[in-house]
Amino acid sequence: MAQSNSIHAVGKRKNAIARIYLKPGTGKIMVNDREFEHYFPVEISRMIIRQPLELVNAGGDFDIYVNVQGGGMFGQAGAIKHGISKALLLLNSDFRPILKKAGFLTRDARIKERKKYGQRGARARYQYSKR
Protein backbone atom coordinates (compact mmCIF):
# COMPACT_ATOMS: atom_id res chain seq x y z
CA MET A 1 0.00 0.00 0.00
CA ALA A 2 3.07 2.28 -0.02
CA GLN A 3 2.33 5.12 -2.42
CA SER A 4 4.27 8.26 -3.23
CA ASN A 5 1.71 10.61 -1.64
CA SER A 6 1.24 8.53 1.51
CA ILE A 7 3.03 8.92 4.83
CA HIS A 8 4.45 5.83 6.50
CA ALA A 9 5.06 5.36 10.24
CA VAL A 10 5.55 2.46 12.64
CA GLY A 11 3.98 2.17 16.09
CA LYS A 12 4.70 -0.39 18.80
CA ARG A 13 3.04 -1.55 22.03
CA LYS A 14 3.92 -4.71 23.96
CA ASN A 15 4.44 -7.34 21.24
CA ALA A 16 2.30 -5.59 18.63
CA ILE A 17 3.85 -3.78 15.66
CA ALA A 18 1.68 -1.56 13.47
CA ARG A 19 2.69 -0.14 10.09
CA ILE A 20 0.59 2.91 9.27
CA TYR A 21 0.00 4.40 5.81
CA LEU A 22 -1.71 7.80 5.95
CA LYS A 23 -3.00 9.48 2.81
CA PRO A 24 -5.53 12.25 2.08
CA GLY A 25 -9.06 10.91 1.88
CA THR A 26 -12.42 10.64 3.58
CA GLY A 27 -11.58 9.13 6.99
CA LYS A 28 -11.73 5.43 6.12
CA ILE A 29 -9.63 3.12 8.32
CA MET A 30 -8.62 -0.33 7.05
CA VAL A 31 -6.82 -2.78 9.35
CA ASN A 32 -5.18 -5.85 7.76
CA ASP A 33 -7.39 -5.43 4.64
CA ARG A 34 -10.55 -5.51 6.79
CA GLU A 35 -12.93 -2.81 7.89
CA PHE A 36 -11.91 -1.05 11.09
CA GLU A 37 -15.20 -1.88 12.85
CA HIS A 38 -14.96 -5.59 11.96
CA TYR A 39 -11.34 -5.97 13.08
CA PHE A 40 -11.94 -4.22 16.43
CA PRO A 41 -15.45 -5.19 17.62
CA VAL A 42 -14.98 -3.56 21.06
CA GLU A 43 -15.77 0.17 21.14
CA ILE A 44 -12.98 0.98 23.63
CA SER A 45 -10.27 -0.24 21.24
CA ARG A 46 -11.79 1.81 18.39
CA MET A 47 -11.85 4.85 20.69
CA ILE A 48 -8.15 4.33 21.55
CA ILE A 49 -7.25 4.33 17.86
CA ARG A 50 -9.27 7.49 17.08
CA GLN A 51 -7.76 9.52 19.97
CA PRO A 52 -4.85 11.16 18.07
CA LEU A 53 -7.09 12.06 15.11
CA GLU A 54 -9.70 13.68 17.35
CA LEU A 55 -7.03 15.52 19.33
CA VAL A 56 -5.73 17.34 16.23
CA ASN A 57 -9.18 17.58 14.56
CA ALA A 58 -8.14 15.49 11.55
CA GLY A 59 -10.76 12.72 11.83
CA GLY A 60 -12.17 12.82 8.29
CA ASP A 61 -9.17 14.22 6.45
CA PHE A 62 -7.17 11.02 5.92
CA ASP A 63 -7.57 7.43 4.83
CA ILE A 64 -5.55 5.14 7.08
CA TYR A 65 -4.28 1.74 6.01
CA VAL A 66 -2.84 -0.38 8.82
CA ASN A 67 -0.84 -3.59 8.81
CA VAL A 68 -0.63 -4.86 12.39
CA GLN A 69 0.71 -8.11 13.80
CA GLY A 70 1.54 -9.61 17.17
CA GLY A 71 0.05 -9.00 20.59
CA GLY A 72 -3.57 -8.91 21.59
CA MET A 73 -6.47 -6.65 20.72
CA PHE A 74 -5.59 -3.76 23.05
CA GLY A 75 -1.86 -4.06 22.39
CA GLN A 76 -2.58 -3.75 18.68
CA ALA A 77 -4.88 -0.78 19.31
CA GLY A 78 -2.11 0.93 21.31
CA ALA A 79 0.41 0.24 18.55
CA ILE A 80 -1.93 1.74 15.94
CA LYS A 81 -2.47 4.81 18.14
CA HIS A 82 1.29 5.26 18.47
CA GLY A 83 1.81 4.84 14.72
CA ILE A 84 -0.97 7.28 13.78
CA SER A 85 0.50 9.87 16.17
CA LYS A 86 3.93 9.50 14.57
CA ALA A 87 2.43 9.74 11.07
CA LEU A 88 0.53 12.91 11.98
CA LEU A 89 3.77 14.36 13.29
CA LEU A 90 5.50 13.65 9.96
CA LEU A 91 2.59 15.32 8.20
CA ASN A 92 2.59 18.50 10.29
CA SER A 93 5.22 19.30 12.93
CA ASP A 94 2.83 21.83 14.56
CA PHE A 95 0.98 18.84 16.06
CA ARG A 96 4.02 17.91 18.19
CA PRO A 97 3.17 19.89 21.38
CA ILE A 98 -0.43 18.64 21.35
CA LEU A 99 0.48 14.98 20.81
CA LYS A 100 3.44 15.16 23.21
CA LYS A 101 1.34 16.62 26.02
CA ALA A 102 -1.23 13.84 25.57
CA GLY A 103 1.60 11.26 25.75
CA PHE A 104 0.88 9.72 22.34
CA LEU A 105 4.45 10.04 21.01
CA THR A 106 6.03 8.11 23.88
CA ARG A 107 6.54 4.40 23.30
CA ASP A 108 4.94 2.46 26.17
CA ALA A 109 7.86 0.23 27.14
CA ARG A 110 5.93 -2.00 29.54
CA ILE A 111 6.19 -5.62 28.43
CA LYS A 112 5.66 -8.95 30.15
CA GLU A 113 8.46 -9.86 32.54
CA ARG A 114 10.10 -13.23 31.92
CA LYS A 115 9.67 -16.23 34.19
CA LYS A 116 12.73 -16.96 36.33
CA TYR A 117 14.06 -20.44 37.02
CA GLY A 118 13.41 -21.78 40.53
CA GLN A 119 10.19 -19.75 40.68
CA ARG A 120 6.59 -20.28 39.64
CA GLY A 121 6.51 -17.11 37.56
CA ALA A 122 8.23 -13.79 37.06
CA ARG A 123 7.89 -12.80 40.71
CA ALA A 124 5.80 -15.58 42.34
CA ARG A 125 7.78 -18.15 44.30
CA TYR A 126 6.93 -21.75 45.02
CA GLN A 127 5.14 -22.18 48.33
CA TYR A 128 7.50 -22.56 51.27
CA SER A 129 6.63 -24.73 54.26
CA LYS A 130 8.64 -24.12 57.40
CA ARG A 131 7.42 -27.29 59.17
Q: From start to end of the chain, where are the E strands?
A: 7-13, 16-24, 29-31, 34-35, 62-69
Residue 95 placed within a domain: yes
Q: What is the pLDDT of residue 39?
A: 96
Range of the domain at 74: 7-102
Higher per-residue pLDDT: 61 or 67 = 67
Query: Is the alpha carbon torsion for 111, 114, 120, 124 positive or negative?
Result: negative
Mean pLDDT of the chain: 93
- Classify residue 32: in a domain, yes or no: yes
For range 105-122, the mean pLDDT: 94
- Tell me the mean pLDDT in the region 11-29: 94
Question: Is the pLDDT at 15 greater than 70, yes or no?
Answer: yes
Give the separation between CA 107 and CA 104, rounded to whole angstroms. Answer: 8
Residue 25 belongs to a domain with what CATH number?
3.30.230.10
Q: Does residue 9 contact residue 90 with C-beta atoms inside 8 Å?
A: yes
- Confidence tier at 1 by pLDDT (50, 70, 90): low
With respect to residue 124, please indicate whether it lies within any of the assigned structural domains: no
Instruction: Please count the structural domains in the chain.
Output: 1
Reported confidence tier of residue 11, pLDDT bands at 50, 70, 90: very high
Within-domain flag for 46:
yes
Is 70 part of a structural domain of the chain?
yes
Within a domain: residue 129?
A: no
Compute the average pLDDT of residues 15-31: 94
Helix (H, G, I), strand (E, B) or coil at 120: coil
Task: Give, in degrees to the nearest 5, the angle at Cα 92 between 89 and 96.
Answer: 50
- Record the pTM: 0.88
Dihedral of the alpha carbons of 91, 53, 64, 73, in degrees to the nearest 10: 130
